[in-house]
């Protein structure tokens, strides 16, 4: 009994160490692409090393699909995030760069569906508890 319990404890410990942690991060756009339509949640971490690329899978406006990549510049000074998303049966894209300490804010461009929204946007990394 004690041997089985010890084996289970070791097995659970090994499984916890073998599974890498992944955190969600959320972005809020401002401008025409704002509010619910400007809120993105991705299940990934920012790239940590210069030149690293991370695949992004997430959602926009609470439940519509979004996917793309986050790339840390080779000189490590910014992170570029580009994604395609589908909301309200319309397709959109954005390409933004996060700069400064902690990569928490930036700007770029966005385009959404037949509304003709093709404009500059600002973006901030926000807490995911704000998700619509």
Tokens 């410990």 correspond to what residue?
Answer: 13
Confidence of residue 116 (pLDDT cuts 50, 70, 90): low
More confident residue, 36 or 79: 79
The pTM assigned to this predicted structure is: 0.78
> Average pLDDT, stretch 49-62?
94
pLDDT at site 63: 86
> Average pLDDT, stretch 33-59?
93
> H or E stretch including 86?
strand 79-87
As a whole number of angstroms, the distance between CA 78 and CA 46 comes to 11
Confidence of residue 130 (pLDDT cuts 50, 70, 90): confident
Residue 51 is given by DSSP the state T
As a whole number of angstroms, the distance between CA 73 and CA 23 comes to 21
């Amino acid at each position: 009994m004690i041997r089985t319990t010890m084996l289970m404890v070791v097995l659970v410990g090994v499984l916890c160490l073998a599974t890498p942690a992944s955190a969600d991060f959320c972005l809020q756009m401002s401008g025409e692409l704002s509010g619910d339509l400007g809120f993105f949640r991705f299940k990934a971490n920012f790239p940590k090393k210069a030149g690293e690329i991370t695949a992004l899978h997430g959602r926009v406006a609470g439940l519509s699909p979004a996917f793309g990549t986050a790339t840390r510049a080779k000189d490590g000074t910014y992170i570029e995030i580009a994604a395609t998303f589908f909301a309200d049966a319309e397709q959109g894209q954005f390409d933004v760069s996060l700069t400064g300490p902690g990569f928490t804010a930036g700007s770029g461009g966005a385009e959404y569906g037949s509304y003709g929204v093709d404009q500059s946007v600002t973006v901030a990394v926000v807490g995911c508890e704000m998700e619509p």
